[in-house]
């Protein structure tokens, strides 16, 4: 499930400071995650993306929350309960705090990033579970580029880009921080395509994704993302191919959209 969300989230161009006119508080998107099992695409889990307003002593932030959970009939086979969240500026979606809490088939991992944009660093905390059930922590200060983001804020920032100004075949390179490492990612704009979804027939921007020097994604133009070609630019469909198979992410419902 980590790789499914990685596929969705590693899309951002050099337009780091574009204003957010696509995402507001109160939005909720739900998806079905499917995986190819013995040649049959099988529904395994639900992915939910929600936004809410959070007030601190210094600012009002937008909480971007993503959760993934296997359907109950699959829990005995491989139980997944994942949480990803980023706290960002409502206007620019610049991240200030990121958390990732992974619980997959008995494997546990927690990551936290606290951003210092003035110094170009992230204060990172990694927490893992030992075999005896106790935990160990690792703290690091990680240097990052001015355009580097975490997974969740990257996915939402993507929706602020003006794809209508892109020519078919336009490619962009960008950087995402994952497990304390900056990953150079590329996307290619493939034009628009109209597809049928659970929330109706939608004309979408179609994007192909690849990662430099990584075996996370496989194939050529086999990792694709469709965003609605409107002011909301919500993800409605994704196809991915990884080392251990292939899968899909399909939207089930969308509510609280800003536009």
Q: What domains lie within the chain, and their CATH numbers?
A: 2-255 (2.40.360)
pLDDT at 1 over 70: no
Give SS3 for 168.
Answer: coil
Average pLDDT over residues 5-27: 64
CA 202: distance to chain centroid? 21
Q: What is the pTM of this model?
A: 0.88
> Packing angle between helix 2-9 and helix 151-158, nearest 10 degrees?
40
Give SS3 for 137.
Answer: strand
Question: What is the tens place of the pLDDT at every residue in 38-51?
Answer: 889 999 999 999 99
pLDDT at 203 over 70: yes
- Residue partners of 53: CB distance under 8 A and separation at least 6: 25, 60, 61, 62, 63, 90
pLDDT recorded at residue 14: 35
Q: How confident is the model at residue 11 (pLDDT cuts 50, 70, 90)?
A: very low
pLDDT recorded at residue 186: 81
Question: What is the tens place of the pLDDT at every residue in 103-115?
Answer: 999 899 999 999 9
């Amino acid at each position: 499930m980590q790789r499914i969300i990685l596929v969705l989230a590693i899309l951002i161009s050099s337009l780091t400071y574009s204003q957010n006119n696509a995402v507001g508080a109160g939005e909720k998107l739900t998806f079905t995650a499917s995986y190819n099992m013995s040649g049959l695409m099988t529904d395994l889990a639900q992915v939910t993306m929600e936004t809410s307003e959070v007030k601190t002593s210094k600012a009002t932030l937008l909480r971007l929350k993503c959760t993934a959970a296997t359907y109950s009939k699959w829990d005995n086979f491989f139980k997944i309960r994942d949480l990803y969240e980023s706290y960002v500026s409502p206007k620019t979606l610049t991240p200030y705090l990121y958390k990732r809490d992974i619980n997959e088939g008995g494997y546990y991992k927690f990551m936290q990033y606290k951003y210092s944009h003035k110094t170009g660093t992230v204060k990172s905390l990694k927490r893992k579970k030992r075999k005896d059930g106790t935990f160990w922590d690792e703290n690091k200060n990680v240097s990052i580029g001015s355009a580097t983001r975490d997974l969740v804020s990257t996915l939402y920032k993507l929706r602020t880009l003006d794809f209508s100004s892109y020519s078919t075949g336009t490619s962009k390179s960008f950087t995402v921080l994952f497990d304390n490492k900056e990953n150079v990612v590329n996307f290619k704009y493939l034009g628009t395509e109209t597809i049928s979804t659970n929330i109706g027939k939608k004309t979408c921007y179609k994007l192909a994704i690849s990662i430099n020097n990584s075996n996370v994604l496989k194939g050529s133009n086999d990792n694709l993302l469709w965003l609605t070609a409107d002011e909301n630019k919500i993800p409605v469909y994704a196809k991915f191919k990884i080392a251990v198979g292939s899968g899909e992410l399909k939207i089930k419902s969308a509510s609280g959209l800003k536009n």
